[in-house]
C-alpha cells in the first residue's frame, strides 16, 4: 500500500496546477512512497485538460473528476476515498500552501505518539488581505470558544492525517473546516504545526467573507451538537 497520498481539490485553477505538481514532486520524490490525487470539482475552465496532460510527465499523478460541482469538502472526501495511501496530506489548489512543509509534517508524525492522528498546518504569517485575516481571527476565536478544539488555525489547507481515522468521521458539507474538533470527538489527538503561507499565484479566490460567515454559523451549531451527542467506550474481545 502507498505510504502517502497528497490530495488536492481544484476548481478553475488551470494556471496553478503545473507549478504545484512540480513543487509536490520536488518535495517528496526520493523521500517517501507517494501519489498525488487531484480532484477536479467540475471546473469551467480547462483545468481538467491541464491535469490530463500532466499525467504524461508525472507518473504519481491521478485525476478524479466530478460530474457536477460539489464543493471542497466533497472533493477532499472523494479524493481520500480514491486514495491508496495510509496517510493523507491535503493542499489547497491555489498554491498558497507550500508542499515543502509536507516532509516537516511527516517528521513531526514520526516523532509523535500514535494517538495523534491529525497534524494541522498553522499559518503563523498569513499572506491574505487584511479583511480576510480579520475575519479568520474572529471565526477562529468563536469556533475555539464553542468547540474547545485548542487549534489556532483550522482553515489552513495543509494537513496530514491517517486515512482510516478520517473515513470514520461523520461527513457533511464544509466538514474540512472542522477536522480537529471531529478528530478529537472520535478520541484522537491533534497537533498544530507552524507552516509557510504564500500569496495566491494565479486566479481568484472562490470564497468571500460574508458567505463563509453565514455557512459557518450553521456548521458550528451542527458540530457542537455532534460533540454533545458523542459517546465512546473502551471495548475488549473475550
Global confidence as pTM: 0.88
Show contacts of 99-102: CB within 8 Å, 24+ apart: 99/6, 99/20, 99/23, 99/24, 99/26, 99/27, 99/28, 100/23, 100/26, 100/27, 100/196, 101/158, 101/193, 101/195, 101/196, 102/4, 102/6, 102/24, 102/27, 102/28, 102/158, 102/160
pLDDT for res 141: 62
Whether 212 shows a pLDDT value over 70: the answer reads: no
Residues 2-228, CATH architecture: Alpha-Beta Complex (3.90)
* Domain definitions of the chain by residue range: 2-228
Whether 213 shows a pLDDT value over 60: the answer reads: no
pLDDT for res 211: 54
Please write the tens of the pLDDT for every residue from 73-131: 999 999 999 999 999 999 999 999 999 999 999 999 999 999 999 999 999 887 655 55
The C-alpha cell of 40 is what?
477536479
Whether 220 shows a pLDDT value over 60: the answer reads: yes
Please write the tens of the pLDDT for every residue from 45-69: 999 999 999 999 999 999 999 999 9
Q: What average pLDDT does the segment 165-178 reach?
A: 94
How confident is the prediction for the chain on average, in pLDDT? 89
Helix, strand, coil percentages in the chain from 3-state DSSP, rounded to 5:
40, 20, 40
Amino acid at each position: 500500500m502507498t505510504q502517502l497520498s497528497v490530495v488536492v481539490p481544484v476548481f478553475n485553477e488551470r494556471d496553478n496546477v503545473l507549478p504545484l505538481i512540480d513543487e509536490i514532486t520536488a518535495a517528496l520524490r526520493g523521500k517517501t512512497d507517494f501519489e498525488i490525487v487531484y480532484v477536479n470539482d467540475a471546473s469551467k475552465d480547462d483545468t481538467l485538460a491541464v491535469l490530463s496532460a500532466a499525467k504524461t510527465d508525472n507518473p504519481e499523478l491521478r485525476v478524479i473528476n466530478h460530474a457536477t460541482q460539489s464543493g471542497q469538502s466533497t472533493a477532499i472526501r472523494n479524493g481520500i476515498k480514491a486514495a491508496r495511501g495510509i496517510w493523507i496530506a491535503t493542499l489547497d489548489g491555489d498554491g498558497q500552501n507550500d508542499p515543502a512543509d509536507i516532509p516537516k509534517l511527516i517528521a513531526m508524525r514520526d516523532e509523535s505518539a500514535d494517538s495523534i492522528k491529525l497534524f494541522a498546518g498553522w499559518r503563523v504569517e498569513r499572506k491574505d488581505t487584511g479583511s480576510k485575516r480579520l475575519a479568520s481571527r474572529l471565526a477562529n476565536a468563536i469556533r475555539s470558544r464553542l468547540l474547545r478544539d485548542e487549534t489556532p488555525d483550522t482553515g489552513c489547507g495543509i494537513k496530514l492525517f491517517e486515512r482510516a481515522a478520517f473515513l470514520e468521521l461523520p461527513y457533511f458539507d464544509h466538514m474540512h473546516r472542522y477536522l480537529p474538533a471531529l478528530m478529537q470527538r472520535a478520541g484522537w489527538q491533534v497537533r498544530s504545526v507552524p507552516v509557510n503561507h504564500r500569496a495566491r499565484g494565479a486566479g481568484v479566490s472562490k470564497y468571500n467573507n460574508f458567505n463563509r460567515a453565514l455557512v459557518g454559523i450553521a456548521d458550528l451549531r451542527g458540530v457542537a451538537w455532534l460533540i454533545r451527542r458523542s459517546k465512546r467506550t473502551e471495548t475488549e474481545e473475550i
